[in-house]
Amino acid sequence: MPVRTAYSTKDLPASVADLRAQCGDRAPRVVLFFGSARYDASELSGLMRESFPGSRLVGCSTAGEIAGSSMLSGSVVAMFLDDDLVEDAAVAVIRNLSAGIHIKDALRELESQFHAPVSSLDLDRCVGIVVADGLSGAEEQLMERLGDATDIPFVGGSAGDDLKFLRTHVLAEGREYSDAAVLLLLRLKHGFDIVKTQSFRPLGKTLVATKVDESRRLVMEFDRVPALDAYAQALGVTPEEAETRFFKHPLGVMAAGEPFVRSPQHTEGRGIVFYCRIPEGMELEVLDATDIVADTRAAVEARKSAGDIAGMIDFQCILRTLQLRNEQRCDQYGEIFRGIPAIGFSTYGEAYLGHMNQTSTMLLFR
């Protein structure tokens, strides 16, 4: 089996020893691991390097973990990818996101490890994973620069810290970083699929951002009306009621008939702060929540019917996780992935063709 997964709820260092034992005597080419913020990130990353000395290592801190059909908290989960699946792998770290995003240096590092230009790589077999500091506010620019620099798709999520919103960590090759992003480039033997799923439908009502502060992800006006008032009017509620509707009625940028979700976070005066940047002039649809379990099941089953899934990584928005917890449907959601070697984590934002919220972006290995 080219993909094996493991998880542990033990404290350090026993948790890493537990993961090593579950891996057995294998020497995986790549190890992906996601751990609760209760673990010291530097110690966790260092212990993983000691336990898997010949592997490429990439991970991050989380706001909840996923292992197979179980949605966890306070744990560390891992996926071990063997040579049967991964032909080659490279890792690069983009440091100091707050000072500017230097994609070229990271791509040169990946190219040096692959001994080939990124532009020459097979797009059907090469895919990137990206994990970023979830409090950096830099994910939009990061994904834009990646999209400008290469046609290789990158999928991933923003690191969490168990909803403390103090500091998140990305982990690579035995070290820990904040204000940083980690890129993992994989050349796979059997290809991959990417699934983006969200549980919303457009209501047929649009809002245009006409006054924004992009650096703060703040929209001050939609359609030249205070943002909160315009949003409330679109839903037919009072401004006082509108903030209670953020969870079930986010906004979405429509592309090819499906929304890329932009979730409101809180109000600031009559403005609205979002979890994603909204540029001035952007047109957004007001969305309405649908059934998260049914929608995700349909998306995964569609890929199952297209062929065997060797393994899956689920980058799931913390807002989706909170919804499942509130509705007491975590077990139902987990059943969708039964029988699939899967790990994942609850993110502070999802990455695929940009930065979004209230979405799951999933990487499937064939």
Q: What is the DSSP string of 157-225?
A: EE---TT--S---EEETTEEESS-EEEEEEEESS-EEEEEE--EEEEEEEEEEEEEEGGGTEEEEETTE
pLDDT of residue 125: 93
| Residue reference for tokens 């080939």 | 116
How confident is residue 256, by pLDDT bands cut at 50, 70 and 90?
Answer: confident
What DSSP element (H or E) covers 86? strand 86-94
Report the percent of the chain where pLDDT is more than 70.
99
Work out the pLDDT band at 309, boundaries 50, 70, 90: confident
Phi-psi region of 137 (alpha: psi -120 to 50; beta: other; left: phi over 0): left
Check: CB of residue 266 under 8 Å from CB of residue 193.
no
Predicted confidence (pLDDT) per residue in 166-189, tens digit: 999 999 999 999 999 999 999 999
For the chain, give the percent of residues with pLDDT over 90: 89
What integer pLDDT is reported at residue 1 of this predicted model? 62
pLDDT number for residue 12:
97
pLDDT tens for each residue of 106-121? 999 999 999 989 888 9
Q: Residue 243: what pLDDT? A: 92
Q: Which helix H or strand E contains 15, and what residues bound it?
A: helix 14-23
Under DSSP, is residue 113 helix (H, G, I), strand (E, B) or coil?
helix
Confidence band of 302 (pLDDT split at 50, 70, 90): confident
CA distance linking residue 126 with residue 255, whole number of Å: 24
In the predicted structure, residue 306 carries a pLDDT above the cut 80: no
Q: How confident is the model at residue 308 (pLDDT cuts 50, 70, 90)?
A: confident
C-beta neighbour count of 177 within 10 angstroms = 23
**Average pLDDT rounded to a whole number, residues 261-279:** 94
